[in-house]
Structure 1
Amino acid sequence: MPLLKEGLKKLYFPSTVLKLVRNGPSVPAVSNTLTFRVPPSMNKFDIKSYLTNIYKLNILDIRTANMPAKLAGSGGNTILKRQKFKKAIVTIDHEFKWPEAPDSATFGIQDAVNERSRIMNRLKGWRMRPHHGIQAAKKAAADEAAAAAKETTKA
């Protein structure tokens, strides 16, 4: 295995974003391989330099793959494409464990739920009136059910 040289770009204040993504389902939650989405312009040397200098990781191996743009769907007359990116699979010297899922209270989800219930309580006295035709159909069905119940009690 050849040793990697330092990257060509000096990263004093990096403006590039390396996004850590979860590995596939076949890789266990605790592993020494990490998968990143990186810009296509970065090479292995730049990725190694970035991770060692900024995050102080000891990197053993880096594998990269260019992922093509894919059709994501169409919105009317326009065709949307997923942007192309580079996937980097980095092997580090120690095991990495994904953190537990955060508590929803820390992200304000419970506040949003409370706000929605407060708004619904404010509108508690109001209700949507059904369409007149729907009301008439419901009344006719209730009348037929009452008539059927009378017939069964007489017999």
Structure 2
Amino acid sequence: MPVLREGLKKIYFPSTVLKLVRNGPNIPQMSNTLTFKVPPSMNKFDIKSYLSNIYKLNILTVRTANMPAKLAGTGGNTIMKRQKFKKAIITIDEEFKWPDAPDSAHFGIKEADNERARMLNRLKGWRMRPSHGIQAAKKAGAEAAAASSDVKA
């Protein structure tokens, strides 16, 4: 008797990436519906097998839609296109809750944003401007030199 399996591909070490994305405006915002971006080569059985075997999800339905490549913009003589992909809408038996957004201060993102803004401000003019600390030190040095020349005179 032949062995029946759901997907056409056996998954030993997954090399495909399924990206969980937020549901679009046309998809009802149910708590048990998930939307994934998947490679166009995967079919419904492969997607169901992948998610049920790797993430232990109990999947009720799988709907797929091939999304065409779209024009992203033009740059001179070149035309750029967004890559085509397949969208999979999965219904699971349990409720799914998106995790809360992480605190950016925990990862040091605020300092990185401030440093980036400072670097962009440095590059605004035609010359490199010193930071505020260096400007204050130069100003204090100039005032001290002026004060010492007044004392000598």
What is the TM-score with the length of structure 2 in the denominator?
A: 0.70
Which runs of structure 1 show a deviation greater than 4 angstroms over 4 or more consecutive aligned residues?
Answer: 116-120
AA aligned opposite 2:69: A
Work out whether 1:123 is the aligned partner of 2:131: yes
Q: In 2, Cα distance between the equivalents of 1:71 and 1:10? A: 35
Aligned twin of 1:81: 81
Task: In structure 2, list runs of 5 or more residues that go unmatched.
Answer: 123-129, 137-153
CA deviations over 1:75-97 (Å, ceiling 9, x no partner)? 11100001000000000000111
Aligned twin of 1:9: 9
Aligned twin of 2:59: 59
Work out whether 1:47 is the aligned partner of 2:55: no
Task: In structure 1, list runs of 5 or more residues that go unmatched.
Answer: 127-155
Matched length: 121
Q: In 1, Cα distance between the equivalents of 2:23 and 2:67? A: 15
Q: SS where residue 31 of structure 1 aligns? A: coil
Q: SS where residue 94 of structure 1 aligns? A: coil
Answer with 1 or 2: which has the greater Rg. Answer: 1
Please give the root-mean-square deviation of Cα atoms over the aligned residues, in Å: 2.4
Alpha-carbon distance, 1:100 to partner = 1.3
Alpha-carbon distance, 1:108 to partner = 2.3
What is the TM-score with the length of structure 1 in the denominator?
A: 0.70
Kindly indicate which of the two structures has a greater share of residues assigned to strand. Answer: 1
Q: In 2, Cα distance between the equivalents of 1:62 and 1:87? A: 10
- Comparing 45-54 with 18-27, which one deviates more in the overlay? 18-27
Judged with a 3 Å threshold, the aligned counterparts in structure 2 of structure 1 residues 79 and 55 are, in CA distance, closer, same or farther, namely same
